[in-house]
Amino acid sequence: MRRISLLIFVALYVVSCTTDELPNPIDHQLQKRLEAIAPDGNLDYFILPSSEDLGKIPAGVGNPLTPEKIALGKMLFFETGLAKDAMKSSGEGTYSCASCHLPTAGFMPGRIQGIADGGIGYGLNGESRSIMNDYEENELDAQGARALSLLNVAFVTNTTWSGKFGAHHANENTEYAWDEENGNEVNHLGLDGLEAQNIEGTQLHRMRITAGWLDTLGYTDMYNAAFPDFPEHERYTHLTTSFAISAYLRTLMADQAPFQRWLQGESDAMSQEEKAGAMVFFTKAGCYRCHKGAGLSSVEFHAVGVRDLYQTGGFNTGPDDKRNFGRGGFTRKQEDMYKFKVPQLYNMKDSPFYFHGSSHHSLHSVVDYFNDGIPENEVVPEENISKYFHPLNLTEEEKEQLVKFLEKGLYDPYLERYVPEEVLSGNCFPNNDPLSRVHLGCD
């Protein structure tokens, strides 16, 4: 007996000595774990390319990435001058794509819902935007779900929460649903999600894309530089505009986040607590089962039973809004009902309105929700809820570590590199209504 305990004592001593000798055992553990779950066994699976490294960024079908297209898209995305097809004259020239996808809010709206045409005000980070006096609720451009983040969107082959845009990947064999009712006939062009969606997007968001108007704003030369291969009569169109904006969006990588720097070998880029949180994310908490690859996203659809925007106070939406049905709203299949695309997880801290219905307002609350594993939306039938959504039994310490990983480890502090110095109209951006102009310091 005594001999055995002595042996155990010696063994423990040896083990503790060897671990002490390693500079930081958790780095080693985390690396091993990531290699184990990467399909190719390689850390590269989790690494975001730099926005400059165009050869490494996934390009869309028919839309190779060029610096000229990206430079053009970078301006058009923020160009309030395009807001020419507003519902009322008071809305003209006041909004842009970035009204709902704010760089300072992780390319999300900074409030429960984005408002473009008919919106007024900005606040510090989008939070003060509300409805213009002379607009009715049903005249607003406010969509029935929280705007998705556009970070790391190059990895999203099929866009929107339902994945309805894009002709390939998840949408193979869904041709029957590419129709007017789903508003995605554009899929018949055979493009990927981004390039397809953004053809529709400028129209949906009441922007004027004509050769004449683009010229008035000063963009003709930039289109000429970006699309020299397009005959002139096809050069200033919704298609080329989408190609330019999509090329820009594909460069929006959160590659300066501490977790990314750690993956590239900078072992002290993350604190001990963030590393522990990463371990929780990639082991016990099971987050990695759905949040995958470099963007920690996937073009897979799961129901985690969260509430819809009409239940949390959004404009212009209700129980019958097709967006509430997720993938099922697009495919019309019972088994797809209430399943939503798995979103990316970088820079979540900047817009504290989580899930498609903005039903949670802090990352602590999101972690508690997954840890409790109890669906909050009674409308969602139990059989549709993902089998990975169940109580996780995380300790208080593990929850805290997980939150730290999300808040800090997955936070790129330099997103201003994706914002242009100016747009060619010379307008204020991302918003240009009188109140936003004051908030943004343009007046």
CB of 187 to ligand HEC, least distance (A): 14
Cα separation of 51 and 249, whole Å? Answer: 10
**By CB under 6 A, residue 99 contacts ligand HEC:** yes
Contact status: 235 vs ligand HEC (CB under 6 A):
no
Q: Answer for the pair 125, 110: CB distance below 8 angstroms, yes or no.
A: yes
Q: Counting beta carbons within 10 angstroms of the beta carbon of residue 300, is it exposed (0 to 12), middle (13 to 18) or buried (19 or more)?
A: middle
Interface with ligand HEC, residue 194, by CB under 6 A: yes
**How far is it, in rounded angstroms, from Cα 140 to Cα 86?**
10
d(C-alpha 130, C-alpha 126), whole Å: 10
Nearest to 148 by CA among 200, 197, 215: 197
Task: Rule CB under 6 A: say whether 306 interacts with ligand HEC.
Answer: yes
With CB under 6 A, what is the number of residues at the site for ligand HEC? 52
| 167, 294, 348, 428: which one binds ligand HEC (CB under 6 A) | 348
The reply on whether position 97 binds ligand HEC by CB under 6 A is: yes
Closest approach of ligand HEC to the CB of residue 45, in Å: 18
Question: Which of 217/304 has CB closer to ligand HEC?
Answer: 304
Q: Per the structure block, which two tokens stand in for 441?
A: 């310091």
- Residue 15: CA count within 13 A, CB half-sphere: 6
Binder among 205, 208, 275, 404 for ligand HEC (CB under 6 A): 205
Instruction: Pick the closer one to ligand HEC by CB: 202 or 432.
Output: 202
Question: Which one of 3-11, 158-166, 255-263, 422-430 is the stretch in contact with ligand HEC (CB under 6 A)?
Answer: 158-166
| CA end-to-end span of the chain | 84
Among 235, 250, 323, 404, binds ligand HEC (CB under 6 A): 323
279 binds ligand HEC (CB under 6 A): no
Chain centroid, CA 207 distance in Å? 22
Residue 302 touching ligand HEC (CB under 6 A): yes
48 binds ligand HEC (CB under 6 A): no
Nearer to ligand HEC (CB atom), residue 136 or residue 266: 136
Range in contact with ligand HEC (rule: CB under 6 A) among 10-18, 350-358, 414-422, 433-441: 350-358
- Work out whether 184 is an interface residue with ligand HEC (CB under 6 A): no
322 scored as a contact of ligand HEC (CB under 6 A): no
Neighbouring residues of 335: CB distance < 8 A, sequence distance ≥ 6: 328, 384
Residue type (1 letter), 285: A
- Residue 81 contacts ligand HEC per CB under 6 A: no
Nearer to ligand HEC, 20 or 378 (CB): 378
Residues 6+ apart with CB under 8 A from 340: 161, 162, 301, 302, 303, 304, 326, 327, 356
Interface pick for ligand HEC out of 354, 411, 418, 429 (rule CB under 6 A): 354
CB < 8 Å & 24+ apart, contacts of 130-138: 131/315, 132/88, 132/90, 132/91, 132/433, 134/88, 134/90, 135/87, 135/88, 135/90, 135/91, 137/315, 137/316, 138/316
Contact status: 78 vs ligand HEC (CB under 6 A): no
Of 7-15, 63-71, 197-205, 423-431, the window that binds ligand HEC (rule: CB under 6 A) is 197-205
Token output for 244: 């330019």
- Closer to ligand HEC by CB, 30 or 156: give it: 156
359 near 312, Cβ under 8 Å? yes
Single-letter amino acid, residue 93: G
Find the binder of ligand HEC among 118, 293, 295, 343 (CB under 6 A).
Answer: 343
Determine which residue in the list 75, 345, 415, 423 makes contact with ligand HEC, applying CB under 6 A. 345
Residue 274 touches ligand HEC, criterion: CB under 6 A: no
Give Cα separations from 224 to 35, 75, 218 (angstroms): 45, 15, 12
Distance CA 366, CA 278 (A): 16
Residue 285 binds to ligand HEC (criterion: CB under 6 A): yes
CB of 141 to ligand HEC, least distance (A): 5
The answer to whether residue 86 forms part of the interface with ligand HEC (CB under 6 A) is no
Nearest residue to 155 via CA among 258, 298, 259: 298
Q: Would you count residue 250 as binding ligand HEC (CB under 6 A)?
A: no
Instruction: Using CB under 6 A, list all residues that contact ligand HEC.
Output: 97, 99-101, 114, 116, 141-143, 145, 147-150, 153, 156, 159-161, 194, 197-198, 201-202, 205, 245, 249, 285-287, 289-291, 302, 304, 306, 323, 340, 342-343, 345, 348, 354-356, 366-367, 370, 386, 388-389, 402
